[in-house]
Chains A and B, each alone.
Chain A
Amino acid sequence: MLPFTLLACAVAGGVFLIIREPNVEYLFVAGYTIVQYIVLATAWNILGGYTGYVNFGSAAFFALGAYSTVALATFANQLDDLVPESMAPIFHLIFPLSIPTLIVIGGVVSGIVGLGMGYLTLRLRGAFFAIATLAMAVVLQTLVVNWEFVGGSGGAYIVRPGEFPGLGSYMQYLFALMLTLAVLAVVIARAIERSRLGYGFAAIRDDELAAEASGVPTLRLKLIATTISGALMGMAGAPFPYYIGYLQPQSAFGLEYAVNSIAMPMIGGTMNWIGPLVGTLLLGTLQQIANVTISSAVNLLLVGLLLIAFVIVAPNGIVGLVQERLRARRAK
């Protein structure tokens, strides 16, 4: 595991240096989105790919992370009005929180919601579970829309500092943070896959009744999956307000997060950690290119077309297709 972690860090570092070279800020803006989807797709796959429970509410977990940041930043701005004067100096020591801290908090919040959602909905299977996650996203969005403190339906502004000391533009800093998160997500996904937990997840995906009969505590394992998956999505969402500058519920709970988090692993392959990575790099890059060359509205159309194509041509994703070819060749 350590060699892989080091390798992943080296790759991430390499990517950062390469993107930095042309000194074009846009590369960071576009790169951030793609890397953010690596985290989301990998997180989705831990629940959806490994245990087979399709989560349509990825956007809600992502938005929870983003809105944790908004809430804490708003709190920091209004500190003097909100806390008693005697306590203010202590709060001024803590606030404003650094983005890594916000990422951790976003992860904790979304992880707890993931656990709660899992507890309420994991007795449902198949399409019913998917519908329940969708419903949860709607409920959470309604809550946020009606919560004035974080801007309600009007949204909230977060002022992004211009520079990060020692690194350059703040966007570079955000990109580096997201790369770190992506490394973390991929390392976690790969570690799970090769562990006792991963075998338990696979048993649940294949046949839950047989898994129970084999001694797998299915409910507990599913709760672990929803918690890890939710936490990673929340962590991906936490820096988002700083990236976008102005956050409103429609963008944080956007359909594209839910759809992409599902489509990217599906296209890449859901059986292992490489699938979401490959799917995201392919689909995410295509979307960014389409954004610039055609229009941003083409994004979801692209996802739809690719999904249909893959369901027909390679139902197990790119990685599944390659594995099948290799197996067939070995058998010859």
Chain B
Amino acid sequence: MSAILRVQGLSKRFGGFVALDGIDLEVQPGERLGLIGPNGSGKSTLVNCICGTLQNEAGSVQFDGDVVDGLAAHERTHRGLARSFQLPRPFPSLTLADNLRIPMLYTVHKRTGTPLHANSIEARCSELLQMVGLTGKARHRPRDLTQVEMRKLELARAMAAEPKLLIADESMAGLSHSEIEDILALLVKLNESGITIILIEHIMTAVMSFSQRLAVLVSGKKIADGKPEEVVRDPEVVRAYLGE
């Protein structure tokens, strides 16, 4: 089976600062990959380069068999690459249902060829809201939501684009234990429906229980990649997190 995402030699600088330095990463279809690293190690920059929010200077990103370098973020979304943001970025003036409507209106038909019918958009909206447990709030605005609900909306909106690969960028930061369980269960359910997921997270218990494979970024370099239990025992990883 060929990889759904193949990152080769990816590099990104901001002025003189090297944020990413020759990253190689492969993700197989249906896989659950955890991506960890200390603050400032380049995780979010990597996500931004993969999703097209930032353009990488060297190396390439292949998604679903095609090189996507140079494509704008929306074009990558059209191909089935969705993300959630580290800090939720809902559309504040739109209702929750309308928040989900945007990706449905702009993304889904790019792959199926036919625009969604108004009725099927409605149906899909309530289906997604039900999935994340926000059914009662379809007509509310994002400002009425709690933190955890905001994260769920963020995931639901990414899902509304019907992605093949979902990158969840710190969907659980700042949440309580039961809320983390909630989000984890949701991600596992999505994965079981066939969506490849990359989880970027600081909360180790969550990462360890979720990931089938774990990759570690430190100062813009990938220093480990493999089975989660082995990776966390890797001396280099321990040193990066705990010091000498």
Which residues from chain A sit less than 8 Å from chain B, CB to CB? 196, 199-200, 202-203, 205-207, 209-219, 271
Q: Could you say which residues of chain B place their CB within 8 Å of the CB of A215?
A: 74, 77-78, 102-103, 106-107, 110, 161
B77 touching A212, Cβ below 8 Å: yes
A60 to B56 alpha-carbon distance, docked (Å): 39
Contacts A209-B89, A271-B93; is A214 near B51 (CB within 8 Å)?
no
A215 to B98 alpha-carbon distance, docked (Å): 14
B101: nearest chain-A partner, CB-CB: A199
A210 touching B93, Cβ below 8 Å: no
A210 touching B90, Cβ below 8 Å: yes
A214 touching B106, Cβ below 8 Å: yes
A214 touching B53, Cβ below 8 Å: no
Task: Check if B157 is an interface residue, CB within 8 A of chain A.
Answer: yes
B105 touching A217, Cβ below 8 Å: no
B101 touching A213, Cβ below 8 Å: no
A246 to B74 alpha-carbon distance, docked (Å): 49
B77 touching A214, Cβ below 8 Å: yes
Q: Could you say which residues of chain A place their CB within 8 Å of the CB of B157?
A: 210, 214
Q: Could you say which residues of chain B place their CB within 8 Å of the CB of A217?
A: 72, 74-75, 106
Contacts A206-B91, A206-B94, A209-B53; is A200 near B74 (CB within 8 Å)?
no
A214: nearest chain-B partner, CB-CB: B103
| Minimum CB–CB distance for A211 against chain B, Å | 7
Q: Is the interface of A mostly helix, strand, loop or mixed?
A: helix
Known: A206-B92, A213-B51. 13 other contacts (CB 8 A): A196-B115, A200-B105, A202-B98, A203-B94, A206-B93, A211-B91, A212-B52, A212-B53, A212-B74, A214-B103, A217-B106, A218-B74, A219-B72
| Minimum CB–CB distance for B157 against chain A, Å | 6
Q: Could you say which residues of chain B place their CB within 8 Å of the CB of A213?
A: 51, 53, 73-74, 77, 82-83, 85, 158
Q: Could you say which residues of chain A place their CB within 8 Å of the CB of B53?
A: 209, 212-213
B89 touching A207, Cβ below 8 Å: yes
A328 to B72 alpha-carbon distance, docked (Å): 41
Q: Could you say which residues of chain B place their CB within 8 Å of the CB of A209?
A: 53, 73, 85, 89
B93 touching A196, Cβ below 8 Å: no
A42 to B89 alpha-carbon distance, docked (Å): 29
B158: nearest chain-A partner, CB-CB: A213
A271: nearest chain-B partner, CB-CB: B93
The B142-192 residues at the A interface (CB cut-off 8 A) are: 157-158, 160-161
Contact of B91 among A207, A218, A219 (CB under 8 A): A207
B72 touching A211, Cβ below 8 Å: no
Which of B74, B82, B93 lies at the interface centre, i.e. has the most chain A CB atoms within 10 A of its CB?
B74
Q: Could you say which residues of chain A place their CB within 8 Å of the CB of B92?
A: 206-207
A213 to B160 alpha-carbon distance, docked (Å): 11
A216 touching B91, Cβ below 8 Å: no
Q: Could you say which residues of chain B place their CB within 8 Å of the CB of A210?
A: 85, 89-91, 157
Contact with A along B46-75 (1 / 0, CB 8 A): 000001110000000000000000001111
| Minimum CB–CB distance for A76 against chain B, Å | 46
Q: Could you say which residues of chain B place their CB within 8 Å of the CB of A212?
A: 52-53, 72-74, 77
| Minimum CB–CB distance for B194 against chain A, Å | 20
Which of A215, A217, A219, A271 lies at the interface centre, i.e. has the most chain B CB atoms within 10 A of its CB?
A215
A12 to B85 alpha-carbon distance, docked (Å): 48
A218 to B75 alpha-carbon distance, docked (Å): 11
Q: Could you say which residues of chain B place their CB within 8 Å of the CB of A216?
A: 74, 102, 106
Q: Could you say which residues of chain A place their CB within 8 Å of the CB of B90?
A: 206-207, 210
Q: Could you say which residues of chain B place their CB within 8 Å of the CB of A205?
A: 93
